[in-house]
Every structure is written in structure tokens, then in C-alpha cells.
Structure 1
Amino acid sequence: MLGAGAALGTAVAAMAACGAAPGPPEADDDLPRPSGTPTTRGTVHDVRVAGARGDGVTDDAAAFTRALAAAAPGDTVFVPAGTYHLVPERPLRLPAGVMLAGVPGRSVLRMTPRGVAAIEVSGADAALDGLELARAGDVETVLLRVGRVDRLTLSRLVFSGATDTYDAFCHGIQLGVAGDTSTDLTLRDSLFHRLTYGLYQANDSPAVTVGVDVSGCTFARNANTDLEFNSPSGSFRDVRVTGCTFRDNDSPGFAVGVAYCARVEVRGNRMTNYRMEALHVEDWSSDVTIEGNTMTACGLTEFAFVQLIQGVTRIVVRGNVFDATANTEPIAVVHALAGGRGLSAGGRPVVPPTAVTVTGNEFRCSEAVRAVSFEGVSGGSVTGNRVSGLAAQDAVEVTGSTGITVASNAVG
């Protein structure tokens, strides 16, 4: 690790000497970027006043550290428009109650941290707004690590990981770092681009996260799952994902992964071009509603558009549009089954789903797919759906299941 840090410092110094900004392009031109006027509150601490240059070459980490240390709860640390090169020895720490804010679309933090993360936040009522957080070197990192928080607001941000350029992983947001209970995380109007995971909580974290609201965000070309609400040693409760766009993910991951969760709503999103499932729900998750989404060309290689496995219960799939006309592999668009391949991800024997409702959806199918498949499911229904592109005998399959109602589906 020390050798890698020394090599990184030498490379950064060489780039600074020739006047070149480190790192890859900031974002793909076809992706939406946040905009609007800056937001501040309380006393404003300007990082330029603290000594930041914002020229994209000079290491401004020390100036950011000074500005953050000077801020009190209710204050703002403001980042004027510019490109700020940051090589922090340890993560920059956003104090409780402080807002770190910039000019949306114009304040760029290009970071090559030498520690495990670029920025860390904990405590109550902190916020980040109007910044681009971009990895600018081949270092393993998390752009934002979240400890125990209450009422954390993340808005108009860009998380850029350059996983297509660098070999090392780069995650956008890591939750549950402190292993405690956090409440009320709001994430809105932000872009997650070419990361490994967009948002995740580590498998060994015992943290409980209650109240996550993700809205109006775009997730594009990430190298694994965009939103991973999965924590075998902890849990998530009261999760809402609404009005987001998920696209172009050729990875062994999902748009939204749900495990060990209770009370989840995924509504009004658009999901396009996924190698595997757009939505994956497993491991005793309960009371999950998947409603009003449009999913196109998902499950292109295997599995499903929506896959429900391993003891999940009270799952409602309602009022969605599934366009599988481009699919050539023999998948089921909505697939509920006792488990995946052998044991569950947690290493326990497979357990069938219960109380699964699939109703009022539109399925546009190629001949290769099946609209709905229930295998070993206990209790539920497949009713009131419209299916095109398939014969009636190929639309719905119910095998090894009990207590399932199949009725009033229009197939033709």
C-alpha cells in the first residue's frame, strides 16, 4: 500500500509539472448532468478563501480540510465553479450539520485518495449538493462513505468512477460504515456513472438503515449493481426508488437489488439494456411493491426482468410495462422461484417465495421468453395482465406451486 501511494504521488507530481489535469473525461455527453443555482445555508466558508486553487492541477485537499474544520452545524462549505484536484491522505470528513455545496454541473472534485474513501460523513443533518465527485486515478476507493447518520440529504451530485479506464474498483456511496442504525437518507437528482456499485452496504455490516428515498437519479454504465439494498448482517427498511433512469449495464449486477429488506417501493422508473435482472428480490425481503415501471431489454443474457427468490413474501408486481421484444434467450420476464442455483447467496438452503401477486402488467414478448413463471411458490396470483407476442400456452407457467390464482389475462 505504501509503495502504491508513493507511485501515485510521483505520477500526480509529474502531471502537475506538465500542467495537465489528472484523470479521464468527466462524463459521457449523452448523460444528463445536474444544473441550477447553488444552495447555501448559515455561514458560508469558501474553499478558495481557505486556499484552494481550483485549477485542476494543484492538490487542494489541505484547503478543503481547513474549510470543513472551520464550519459549525448549520454552516455551508462552498466550492465555487472550477476543477479541484484532491489527493487526501485520509478521507475528507464532512461534520454533522454541515452542507458541502457547489455550483451544479460546474464544481468538480477530481480525487485520487490514498485512503479507503474520498469523503466521509456522519452525524445528523449533513448535506452535499451540486458537486461532481470523480475518481481521477487508478486507486481503489469509495467516493462517499456514510457512517451513522440522520437526515442526510444528497442532491444534484455526479458520481463518476471511470471503471472503463481503471482496473481498481470505485464505488459511489457506501452505507452502514459505523454498523449502527441510520435514518432518513434522501438521494435525488443525481448521476451515477461508470462506478462499480452505485450505492451499497457491505455484507459484514450489522447496520440497519431506515428510510431511504431515491428519486430523479440516473444510473448508467456501472460495472455492477446500481442500487444494492442488501446487507446479510444488517437490514434495510422503508426504501423508495421513484422516477429514476437505469441504463446500459452489461454486468453481473442489477438496477435494484433487494435483500434482507422490509417495505420497499420501486415505482415509476425506466430500466433499459441490462445483461441480467433489472430487479432482483431475495433473502426474506417482505412487502415489496414494483409498480408503474417501464423495463426494456433486460435479462438479455439470463434470469429475468424481475426475479423473486429465497423466502421473499408479500411481493406485488403491478402496472408495469415489460418490453422483451429484443430478448433472444429463454427467460421468464417475471420469475418467482425457490432459489437461484443451489444454495442462496447467504449459503442457506433455498426457501420458496410466498404471496406473490403479478397483476395489471403489459408484457411485450419475443417468442424466446415466457411472461410469468412461478416455480415452487406458495400463495399468490397472476391476473389481469396483457401479453402480446406469445401463444396462450406459452405466456404463464405455474409448476410445483400451491394456492396460485391464474385468471383474466389477455394473451394474443
Structure 2
Amino acid sequence: MRRVLLLALAAMFAGNLEAEILDLRKAPYSAAGDGTADDRAALAAAFSAAKKGDTILVPAGDYRMVLGKGRLTMPDGVTLLGEGGRSKFLLVSEGGKPEHREFLQPGSSSVVQGLTFSREENFAAVLFPLFGERDGITFRDCVFEGGVERFPGTYCHAFQVGNGSLKNLTLEKIELRGFTFGLFQANQATGSVEGVIVRQSLFEKNKSSDLEFNSPKGKMTDIRVEDCTFRDNLSKTPTGGFAVGFANVQRGSVERCRIDGYGAEALHVEDRSEDIRLSGNTIVGGSKIQTNGVILVVNDSRKVVIEGNYIDGRPNENKVHLVLVTAGGPKFPNPSDVSVKDNVLLNGAKTVKWYLQNGSGPEPSGNVVMGFQ
């Protein structure tokens, strides 16, 4: 692990001779990293001292962060670098209060890498509010633990977007488990999100949707989710708990992902979303507690491609369509230009291969349907 850390540092400092390494454990920051002392002030001091190009090194240890009413802000162009699973931030609430808390707002051109973030008490939280004017935020090789099973009764979201202008967010090789929402935008938000890449990551045991891309009053474009695993969603209601949801999104894709064990639809596309591609995914046991489609396209969504997916309905004990393309009710416009091609659909005892509303797109082609009919 130390060798990997040194290589990472060498890559970061190549060509930048003025950049510095700020060690969180050393003076003047002197974080304890013992899981008992409050190290929030030490991290805040390191952020205050860091300049563009610097790296704040977080050596192996358990860093207790007591969260109050204000959040920490990470400067533009700074990297926060830990030692993989050995560097952990333990997040607790000031006075043990269940009030809403926020942890960290990264700056533009910032990197958070090799760290674990764990909520250790029962308080409401958004760990990373990605607000303001931000361009280029990367989370890589990080673990996020929200603890919704340990601490029922309060929400805990990992990432919130939509307040301001966010461009070029990357989530790469992360593990995110035990949250309410993994990533979401509030319905009333009016900001813009342009360019999100989520790749080679694991999402499991979250209580609502893992990735909820929804912008009814703002702008959300160019979303890519690829080569990820989604599993064992905890939602008990039929209205939430998608692996990936698109609503009011322009240009989005989910490709080569594995999705297992969802009560609601695994992939959800609605509300005028346009230029959406769902391709090469494997879905086993989606929509297990409701009657919508395992893949659902609804309400004036346009130019949607559903291609090359493997959808296994054998775990379903309910009657559900493996692919459902519909207006969603008499008050809503039909989806349009939706193509369903070259998928493998494996029916369970009660599932139906698809319902494709008339006029929603070309005739399906190249699909293989197996199992019960």
C-alpha cells in the first residue's frame, strides 16, 4: 500500500515543482488519527494552508470528525489522498444531536482518493454537497458507508447536486453502501449539472435510489454510468429505489452494468429525458415489489435505445414486464423513438416480456425471449 501511495504522489507531482505535500499527522496540523480525538480542526487547517497543486496526505488511521452546523470547504486544485482502506474518516454529530450535518464541499479541479468515510452516529446528513460553481471533481478508490441499517429514522445522502453549476464530476472505483440516496438532486433545485462519469463502482444496500439524475427545474446533461455493480437495494416502497434513474436528462447512458435485487425498476427513464442509451447490462430480479417494468420508459421520453441487455425475471414472484414503454397515464405524452433490440429476456413464472405502447418506436428486433410466456 505504501508503494502504491508513493507512485500516486509521484504521478501527481510530475511537472509541478512548486506543489507541496501537507501531512495531516505532522505539525502544524497534528491530527491524532486515533478514532477518539476530534481531528476536524486539523483538517480545516490543512485546507486553509493548501494551495492549488498541493496534496494533503492522510496517513493510515481513524480520524474522528465532529460535524457542526458548517461544512468544510476544500480549495480548488487540491488532492486529499489516503492509504486506501487504512485511512478512515469517522463522522459524528456535535453534541450527538440528530440535526442535519454536511461534511465536505470540494473545490474545482480537486481529487479525493484512497479514503473511507463512515457515519458513526444517528444524525441526518448530506456528506458531500457539490454546490456552487464547480468544474472537475474526482472521487477515486473511496469507500462511503452511510449506516442506514445501523441508524434508522434519519436520512443520509452521499452526494447532492443541483445548487449552482457543476461540471465534470467523476466517481471512479468507489464503493457506496448504506445511504438513503447515493446521489440525488432536489426537485426544487434550479442549477445545472453537465458531465458526470460513474465507472467501475459498487452500490449496495441503499435505501432509495443509488443514482437519481433528476432535474425538473434545472439542467442535467451528459451522464455516463458504466461497468458498475448495483445490488440488494433496501427500498420497501414501489415508488423509489432504482439503480439508475433519469428524469429531465439530456444525453445519458448506462452500459455494461450488473444490477441484482431491486424492488423498484432497475433502470428508470421519464419526464422528457432524451438521447438515453441502456446497453449491455445484466439485470437479475428487478421490480420485485411493484408492477412497473424492470426497465421502465415513461412520460414523453425520447430517443431511448434499449439494446443488448440480459434481463432475468426468474427471481420475480410478481407479474411485471421486463421492458415497459408507456405514457404512464392519460394525461402524459407517449414516449417516442424508443428502440428495443438485441436483448435477451428470460421470463419467470409471472413476468411478461414487454409492453411497448403503440407509436413509441420501431418494431423490436433481434431480441431473444426465453422461459415462461
TM-score by length of 2: 0.90
Number of equivalent positions: 348
* Number of the residue aligned with 1:362: 344
Tell whether 2:91 aligns with 1:111: yes
TM-score by length of 1: 0.82
Aligned match of 2:269 in 281, 285, 292?
281
The amino acid of 2:139's aligned partner reads L
Contact 2:67 2:101 in 1 (8 A): no
Aligned-residue RMSD, C-alpha = 1.7
The amino acid of 1:281's aligned partner reads V
Aligned match of 1:310 in 299, 318, 327?
299
Tell whether 2:54 aligns with 1:72: no
Q: CA deviation at 1:326?
A: 1.6
- Structure 2 distance, partners of 1:35, 1:309, is 50
Q: Secondary structure of the equivalent of 2:144?
A: strand
Contact 1:338 1:350 in 2 (8 A): yes
Q: CA deviation at 1:36?
A: 8.3
The amino acid of 2:101's aligned partner reads V
* Number of the residue aligned with 1:45: 22
Q: CA deviation at 1:35?
A: 11
**Mapping of residues 251-270 of structure 1, within 5 Å:** 251=235, 252-270=240-258
Q: Deviations over 1:59-100 (max 9, x none)?
A: 110111111110001111111111111003321111111111
Q: CA deviation at 1:379?
A: 2.9
* Number of the residue aligned with 1:176: 162
Aligned match of 2:82 in 94, 102, 112?
102
Q: Deviations over 1:236-289 (max 9, x none)?
A: 111110000000013131000101101111100000010111100001000101
Query: Unaligned 5+ residue runs, structure 2?
Result: 13-18, 95-99
The amino acid of 2:104's aligned partner reads I
Query: Unaligned 5+ residue runs, structure 1?
Result: 1-33, 343-348, 392-412
Q: CA deviation at 1:233?
A: 1.2
Following TM superposition, where does structure 1 have runs of at least 4 consecutive aligned residues deviating by more than 2 angstroms? 34-42, 113-116, 375-381
Q: Secondary structure of the equivalent of 1:168?
A: coil
* Number of the residue aligned with 1:92: 72
Q: CA deviation at 1:376?
A: 4.9
**Mapping of residues 120-139 of structure 1, within 5 Å:** 120-122=105-107, 124-139=108-123
- Structure 2 distance, partners of 1:363, 1:83, is 47
Q: CA deviation at 1:380?
A: 2.6
**Mapping of residues 124-273 of structure 1, within 5 Å:** 124-147=108-131, 148-166=133-151, 167-177=153-163, 179=164, 181-251=165-235, 252-273=240-261
Tell whether 2:364 aligns with 1:379: no
- Structure 2 distance, partners of 1:207, 1:377, is 34
Q: CA deviation at 1:372?
A: 1.1
Q: Secondary structure of the equivalent of 1:290?
A: strand
The amino acid of 1:172's aligned partner reads A
- Structure 2 distance, partners of 1:136, 1:35, is 27
- Structure 2 distance, partners of 1:174, 1:387, is 39
* Number of the residue aligned with 1:300: 288
Q: Which range moved further: 168-177 or 289-298?
A: 168-177
- Structure 2 distance, partners of 1:353, 1:175, is 27
Q: CA deviation at 1:191?
A: 0.4
**Mapping of residues 314-353 of structure 1, within 5 Å:** 314-339=303-328, 349-353=331-335
Shift in CA distance, 223/35, structure 1 to aligned 2, threshold 3 Å: farther
- Structure 1 distance, partners of 2:143, 2:92, is 16
Q: CA deviation at 1:304?
A: 1.9
Q: Secondary structure of the equivalent of 2:364?
A: strand
- Percent identity between matched residues is 34
Q: CA deviation at 1:305?
A: 1.2
Contact 1:45 1:71 in 2 (8 A): yes
- Structure 2 distance, partners of 1:35, 1:355, is 52
Contact 1:35 1:156 in 2 (8 A): no
Q: Secondary structure of the equivalent of 1:62?
A: helix
Shift in CA distance, 78/35, structure 1 to aligned 2, threshold 3 Å: closer
Q: CA deviation at 1:229?
A: 0.5
